[in-house]
Structure 1
């Protein structure tokens, strides 16, 4: 019987991830309060809706960010897992607090619309990418897109674009057409920065894993991540030793979790990761994760 080897201590790793998620949220909050919002430029997703609500009703931006993201965090918990939900709660709470603390910080750029969108998009994208890289999310729109992609014949990236189209229509009612266009441009730039920082904006990723504990690895991925996997026989080119190569396709929000699983079961496993443009078909139905 194979026994899963538990790591000696995960406390330092968990703490460092939490700190980096918090730092990412604070960076994003600074980009909002010091660059975008003072120049009547919004962001996409839940943050963009929160900015509109704050401008219309005078409700603190941080409060709206926290409240509107609640159902999306629940989706993250059900579809991705407890640790992702906890890191996301930390990130969203930090973003909310950050916007309150930085509400009166000096505006670093004023008037130059092109520079505002570029600098604001880079700052926000870096902050969000840093949070995603460490297992958390600062905006719930991605979680909704991941869920809908399992129910509809569209990719996650298509759904993110589709959902944000409605967000920018709402933004235009407050900031005007020019403000909405600039907001969309800032969001586009932010998405590219997220891709650089986090390595994968919204597509799927394929993990190919060669391990000496393939059965335990597949079972753990299925039980803790809710993902299926396939086996392929592989042979070592030097030793001619036979292995079982595991192939598993995940979405980008699950990358941090599957890496933890691989490291926990077999730290010496050979792993290859590459981006997938589109995923269709298959009979495996992803279950809720606790």
Structure 2
């Protein structure tokens, strides 16, 4: 029963994400010719050139990409990929007549379209789905030519954006599309990882025991000793690792530097912390 509920929740999450992405495309991007890379951008260009429906064009473009990825990369792309691509394509075409266009301002459309697309795609990825598209093309290029997936993805998206600029005869539209693409990628990461809710401290000090004791007693946070060795001095020492809430960062620094003014401290964002003292699993 639990497995069935998890399965159902996953597909509902993918459907919700696809619907949000469809709203972003229909409300902000497609009506204003902002082709922010990917299969959706290419479908937007074809829509204005030949009058083809965006959703079904996306699905038609995704099918050979999916088949090619299975042939080149193996059958590791399952039903979730086809489901996500089909639901997004259907949602775009079904919702298009009922979705209002709120503004003709290109900057607003690029920003809000990017934010909503990022939320939608982030939800799809969060529920272990994908809408196929240029990530599959990038994976194929990586396998065939050895180009990194990140570079391949950037190259494919840049090609689509440049093509849109040529077809629409507007460099301005390409520049706005780049803004939208950047916003989308940032929001996808935010949805998947969550906002920075804590800070991770890596502390290299000559008095690790005293620092650990102060953190335990004053902040009540758990501390872990990591074994480290200096490359220059070749000396072995304990490295103190601890995660605290953002409101405790200043106090944490004060505790450390009261004990060791020469301590070397790294403070990093921790987007999601699960366990005692933080969020439950």
Indicate how the Cα distance of structure 1 residues 63 and 89 shifts in structure 2: closer, same or farther if over 3 A, else same. Answer: same
Shift of 1:154: 3.0
SS at match of 2:48: helix
Q: Deviations over 1:202-250 (max 9, x none)?
A: xxxxxxxxxxxxxxxxxxxxxxxxxxxxxxxxxxx9xxxxxxxxxxxxx
Query: Which of 188, 191, 198 pairs up with 1:194?
Result: 188
Find the residue that maps to 2:78 and give its secondary structure: helix
> 1: CA distance between counterparts of 2:32 and 2:137?
29
Shift, 1:105, TM fit: 3.0
Moved more, 143-152 or 59-68: 143-152
* Residue of structure 2 in register with 1:110 after alignment: 103
Tell me which structure has the larger Cα radius of gyration. Answer: 2
Residues 80, 127 of structure 1: CA spacing in aligned structure 2 closer, same or farther, 3 A cutoff? farther
CA deviation after TM superposition for structure 1 residue 72, in Å: 2.0
Moved over 4 A (4+): 75-78
- Tell me the equivalent position of 2:47: 54
If asked which structure has higher relative contact order (CA below 8 Å, sep 6+), I would say 1
Contact 2:23/2:99 (<8 A) preserved: no
Kindly state the Cα deviation for residue 153 of structure 1 after the two structures are TM-superposed: 4.0
Partner residue of 1:123 out of 98, 112, 116: 116
- TM-score normalised to the size of structure 2? 0.63
Aligned residue among 91, 96, 108 for 1:98: 91
Contact 2:43-2:58 within 8 A present in 1 as well:
yes
- Which residue pairs with 2:172 in the alignment? 178
SS across alignment from 1:110:
coil
Contact 2:37 2:156 in 1 (8 A): no
Conservation of the 8 A alpha-carbon contact between 2:110 and 2:180: yes
Query: What TM-score, normalized to structure 1?
Result: 0.61
Q: Secondary structure in 1 aligned to 2:36?
A: coil
Q: Which of 3, 15, 18 is the matching residue for 1:25?
A: 18
C-alpha root-mean-square deviation of aligned residues, in Å? 2.6
* Stretches of structure 2 lacking an aligned partner (at least 5 in a row): 195-224, 226-269, 271-281
The answer to whether the 8 A contact 2:31-2:101 is kept is no
Q: 2-side partners of 1:13 and 1:59: how far apart?
A: 37
The equivalent residue for 1:135 is: 128
Partner-residue secondary structure (3-state), 2:17: helix
CA drift at 1:54: 1.2
Give 1:226-245 correspondences, 5 Å limit: none
Task: State the Cα distance separating 1:10 from its structure 2 match.
Answer: 2.2
User: Deviation at 1:127?
Assistant: 0.7
**3-state DSSP class of the match of 1:104?**
helix
Q: Which blocks of at least 5 consecutive residues in structure 1 are unaligned? A: 1-7, 201-236, 238-273, 275-290
Report how many residues are paired: 196
